[in-house]
């Protein structure tokens, strides 16, 4: 059953699959985490991945380069973040409702526009994507070499984003302000921190990060756009944030865990034809539930998350 | 909310199409509406049925309508709505529509309710392909081309129609390579291209060198994986240049056939089964299929036609 663990080639294959499946989750989880740390629920991650994927396809198609795709993807992500910020922070609409609205809008908008913009529909595209970068020496290490050091540029960006988010949140003055705004905006405001500006910045940057997850799908994994290409990854990223207890490093590991179990379930299905495949398909979620209830203890979200700040409110 | 948006878009489209194109509306052309489980741009099952709908419009001058992404929970409502609005033929696309179709047929006796690819259901016209025959043919071609002796079938979910295809596929494959192995994998998502691609990489690493995707939009991922690793695909729901050959379950053809029968007043509420009996149900063979394998495949079609090869009913 676990024979792929012994065979180095098979193991490298499974780990490679796991990493590739977890990259969009990592981008989205880091983006969402940044928003929630600043006190704004961003459940629109699913829609922002979709926007990112669509923007990447548009950019790569019209500019003929993967970098063009990346720029447009980020622009789409930032725009959806701005929308969330205006409605959820300034106009104080319920952030959950805004998030759902953005997801629904993204689904309709991207399917509709992809039919208008791409001849023959988005799934007949063959876009220019990023190719793999082999890091010299390191990529020759058995098993881990090809998995970690012979990947796409965006994979390294995803891993870098984990370090960046962690560093900013816990090692800089701005990060401390972000956390303060997420815990107690009134106190932060009294201390002279710009609550609104900081939340706007976090939501826009976080949303752009989530959009990079979509760009990764389009520019490296499949090189085309298909309707609803995000396929629920944004929701899994939300689970990873909770599972990671709003800590970038743990959320990162949660994403890897989901990716790994997805890869393992694909592998185990046909090694074990007697067990219904649904058991394996449910495996990642089962692991999430077990981890949430048992292993991690009480999850403590930032205490002001989801509560729009109003200066006049007592 | 999305549903409303979608129906609004569809309604606008239908309305503007009606305004722009003066229909050559024959007085007795049936009005045909289709409920689809996915998007009409998937270049597979849903688009195939949509193409059939357009063909019906052109051929019979019918007024047509469709709703995409109809979830299980809204099937009855969407189909009843079309029946209420006076559509003569209401179609559910796929086996998951049989329950809804049975209820709609009972509530609207004047409406002809059709399910494509669905099990025989009381009061409903079901149109099916003989799945094992099409699987068998693809299996023969896969057997003639596979060098590793391992091939694979890939779907989102396990269900009867797919199992039948795989049974035929296995028989066809093993008629050429008796010791050959057929792997089966499920991704749990009809449209997730990335996951289908990863699943295909997995199958390829298990030495499979011919892949048969039974998926909606996600089939593109299978074809990409195959091209990147230099292996082959065969088509059952999709057509693509990279296929060794396609033996397509052509539901466009099935829909046109149904409307034609309806026009002649011959369409009954029973199960119609379409067999693989003619060359033109196959796509073109790719250059990777040797001459003798092509002959073998065409022989199989002849044997099915003559009744020498029989699968189920």
Residues B172-211 have pLDDT tens digits of: 999 999 999 999 999 888 888 888 999 999 899 889 999 9
The total of other beta-carbon atoms located within 10 Å of residue B272's CB is: 17
φ and ψ at residue A310, rounded to 5 degrees: -130, 120
- Identify the residue whose tokens are 């394998």: B293
Q: How far apart are the first and last CA of chain A?
A: 60
Residues of A in contact with B203 (CB under 8 A): 270
Q: What is the mean pLDDT of residues A218-232?
A: 88
Flag if B191 and A20 touch (Cβ within 8 Å).
no
Q: Which strands sit side by side in the sheet containing B232-235, from one edge to the other? A: B181-186, B150-155, B210-214, B232-235, B243-246
As a whole number of angstroms, the distance between CA B207 and CA B205 comes to 5
How far from the centroid of its chain's Cα atoms is residue A72's Cα?
A: 17
pLDDT digits (tens, 9 = 90+) for A88-118: 999 999 999 999 999 999 999 998 999 899 8
Q: Closest approach of chain A CAs to the CA of B20, in angstroms? A: 18
Token representation of residue A32: 């969402």
A64 compared with A134, residue with greater pLDDT: A64
pLDDT tens per residue across span B248-265 = 899 999 999 999 999 999
Separation in Å, CA B63 to CA A226, B4, B68, B90: 29, 21, 17, 12
Q: Return d(Cα A267, Cα A295) in angstroms, integer.
A: 26
B1 touches chain A (CB under 8 A): yes
Residue A245 has pLDDT above 80, yes or no: yes
pLDDT category of residue A285 using cuts at 50, 70 and 90: confident
**What's the rounded Cα separation, in Å, for the pair B175 and A181?**
69
Q: Closest residue of B to A221, CA-based?
A: B194
ipTM entry:
0.81
CATH, domain range B131-248+279-306: 3.40.50.2300
Residue B205 is nearest to which of A13, A124, A269, comparing CB atoms? A13
Q: What would the mean pLDDT of B8-29 be, rounded to a whole number?
A: 50
Q: Specify the pLDDT at position A294.
A: 62
Is A273 within 8 Å of B184 when comparing Cβ atoms? yes
List the domain range (segments joined by +) for residue A17: 3-313
Cβ atoms within 10 Å of A155's Cβ, excluding its own: 22
pLDDT digits (tens, 9 = 90+) for B138-169: 999 999 999 999 999 999 888 888 999 999 99
d(CA A29, CA B165): 40
Q: Which of A114, A222, A283, A285 to mutate to test the interface with B (most CBs of B within 10 A)?
A: A222
How near does any CA of chain A get to the CA of B3, in Å?
A: 10
Instruction: State which residue of chain B sits closest to A10, comparing Cα positions.
Output: B205
CATH number of B32-129+249-274, picked from 3.30.360.10, 3.40.50.460, 3.40.50.620, 3.40.50.2300: 3.40.50.2300
pLDDT of B21 over the 50 cut: no
CB A296 within 8 A of CB A242: no
Q: Across residues B19-26, what is the average pLDDT?
A: 45
Instruction: Give the torsion sign (CA, B301, B303, B307, B311).
Output: negative
Handedness of CA A27, A30, A34, A37 (dihedral sign): positive
Question: Considering only CB atoms, which chain A residues are within 8 Å of B192?
Answer: 229, 231
- CA-nearest residue to B206 within chain A is A10
CATH of the domain at A211: 1.10.3470
Rounded CA-CA distance B280/B248 in Å is: 10
Contact assignment for A123 to B221 by CB distance below 8 Å: no
Separation between Cα atoms, residue A179 and residue A182, nearest integer Å: 5
Contacts of B193 in chain A (CB under 8 A): 123, 221-222, 224, 226, 229
Q: pLDDT per residue over A141-173, tens digit each?
A: 777 777 777 788 899 999 999 999 999 999 999
Instruction: Calculate how close chain A gets to B68, using CA atoms only, in Å.
Output: 11
Query: How many folded domains does chain A comprise?
Result: 1
Residue B106 touches partner A, C-beta closer than 8 Å: no
What part of B 149-208 touches A (C-beta under 8 Å)?
Answer: 158, 183-189, 191-195, 197-199, 201-203, 205-206
Structure tokens at A164: 């960046």
Q: Are A228 and B41 a contacting pair at CB < 8 A?
A: no
Percent of chain B with pLDDT over 90: 68
Indicate the pLDDT class of residue A263, thresholds 50, 70 and 90.
confident
Average pLDDT taken over every residue of chain B: 88
CB contacts, 8 Å: A112 with chain B: 9
Which chain B residue lies closest to A217 (C-alpha atoms)? Answer: B194
Compute and round to an integer the Cα radius of gyration of chain A: 20
- Complete DSSP assignment for chain B: -HHHHHHHHHHHHHHHHHHHS-----TTPPPEEEE-SS-TTSSSHHHHHHHHHHHHHHHH---EEEESS--GGGHHHHHHHHHHTT-SEEEEESGGGHHHHHHHHHH-TTSEEEEET----TTSEEEEE-HHHHHHHHHHHHHHH-SSSEEEEEESS--HHHHHHHHHHHHHHHHH-TT-EEEEEE-S-SS-HHHHHHHHHHHHHTT--EEEEE-STTHHHHHHHHHHHT-EEEESS---TTEEEEB---HHHHHHHHHHHHHTT---SSEEEE----GGGB-PPPTTS-HHHHHHHHHHHHHHHHTSS----
Residue extent(s) of CATH 3.40.50.2300 domains in chain B: 32-129+249-274, 131-248+279-306
pLDDT band for position B17 (cuts 50, 70, 90): very low
CA distance B184 to chain A (A): 7
Q: Give the A-side interface with B, CB within 8 Å.
A: 9-10, 13, 17, 20-21, 24, 104, 107-108, 111-112, 114-115, 121-124, 217, 221-224, 226-229, 231-232, 262-263, 266-267, 269-270, 273, 276-278, 281
Least confident interval from A188-192, A278-282, B217-221: A278-282
């Amino acid at each position: 059953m676990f024979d792929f663990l012994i065979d180095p080639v098979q193991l490298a294959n499974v780990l490679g699959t796991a990493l590739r499946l977890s990259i969009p989750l990592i981008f989205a989880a880091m983006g969402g985490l940044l928003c929630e740390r600043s006190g704004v629920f961003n459940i629109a991650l699913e829609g922002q991945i979709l926007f990112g994927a669509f923007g990447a396809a548009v950019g790569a198609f019209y500019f003929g380069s993967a970098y063009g795709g990346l720029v447009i993807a980020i622009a789409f992500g930032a725009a959806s973040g701005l929308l969330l910020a205006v409605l959820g922070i300034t106009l104080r609409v319920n952030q959950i409702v805004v998030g759902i609205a953005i997801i629904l809008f993204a689904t309709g908008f991207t399917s509709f526009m992809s039919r208008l913009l791409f001849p023959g529909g988005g799934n007949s595209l063959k876009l220019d994507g990023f190719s793999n970068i082999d890091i010299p020496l390191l990529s020759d290490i058995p098993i881990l070499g090809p998995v970690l050091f012979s990947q796409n540029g965006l994979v390294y960006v995803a891993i870098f984003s984990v370090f960046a988010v962690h560093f900013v949140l816990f090692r800089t003055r701005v990060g401390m302000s972000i956390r303060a705004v997420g815990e107690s905006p009134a106190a932060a405001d009294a201390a002279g921190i710009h609550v609104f500006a900081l939340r706007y910045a976090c939501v826009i940057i976080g949303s752009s990060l989530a959009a990079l997850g979509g760009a990764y799908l389009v520019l490296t994994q499949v090189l085309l756009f298909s309707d609803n290409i995000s396929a629920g990854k944004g929701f899994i990223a939300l689970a990873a944030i909770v599972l990671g207890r709003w800590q970038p490093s743990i959320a990162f590991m949660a994403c890897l865990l989901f990716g790994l179990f997805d890869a393992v379930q694909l592998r185990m299905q046909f090694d074990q034809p007697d067990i219904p495949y649904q058991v394996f398909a449910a495996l990642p979620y089962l692991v999430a539930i077990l981890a949430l209830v048992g292993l991690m203890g009480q999850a403590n979200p930032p205490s002001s998350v989801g509560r729009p700040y109003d200066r006049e409110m007592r | 909310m999305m549903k409303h948006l979608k129906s609004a878009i569809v309604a606008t489209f239908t309305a503007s199409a009606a305004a722009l194109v003066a229909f050559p509306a024959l007085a007795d052309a049936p009005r045909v509406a289709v409920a689809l489980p996915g998007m009409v741009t998937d270049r597979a099952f849903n688009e195939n049925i949509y193409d059939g709908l357009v063909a019906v419009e052109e051929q019979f001058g019918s007024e047509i309508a469709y709703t995409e992404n109809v979830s299980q929970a809204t099937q009855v409502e969407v189909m009843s709505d079309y029946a209420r609005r006076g559509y003569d033929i209401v179609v559910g696309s796929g086996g998951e529509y049989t329950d809804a179709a049975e209820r709609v047929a009972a509530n609207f006796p004047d409406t002809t309710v059709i399910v494509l690819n669905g099990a025989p259901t009381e009061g409903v016209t079901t149109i099916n392909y003989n799945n094992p025959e099409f699987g068998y043919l693809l299996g023969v071609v896969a057997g003639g081309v596979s060098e590793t002796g391992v091939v694979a079938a890939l779907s989102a979910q396990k269900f009867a129609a797919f199992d039948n295809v795989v049974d035929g596929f296995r028989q066809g494959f093993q008629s050429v390579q008796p010791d050959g192995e057929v792997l089966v994998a499920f991704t749990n998502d009809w449209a997730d291209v990335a996951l289908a691609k990863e699943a295909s990489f997995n199958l390829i690493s298990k030495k499979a060198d011919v892949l048969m995707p039974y998926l909606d939009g996600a089939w593109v991922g299978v074809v990409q994986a195959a091209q990147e690793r230099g292996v082959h695909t065969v088509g059952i729901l999709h057509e693509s240049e990279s296929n060794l050959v396609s033996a397509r379950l052509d539901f466009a053809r099935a829909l046109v056939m149904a409307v034609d029968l309806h026009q002649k007043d011959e369409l009954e509420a029973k199960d119609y089964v379409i067999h693989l009996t003619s060359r033109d149900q196959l796509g073109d063979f790719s250059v990777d299929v040797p001459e003798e394998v092509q002959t073998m495949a065409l022989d199989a079609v002849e044997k099915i036609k003559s009744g020498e090869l029989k699968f189920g009913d």
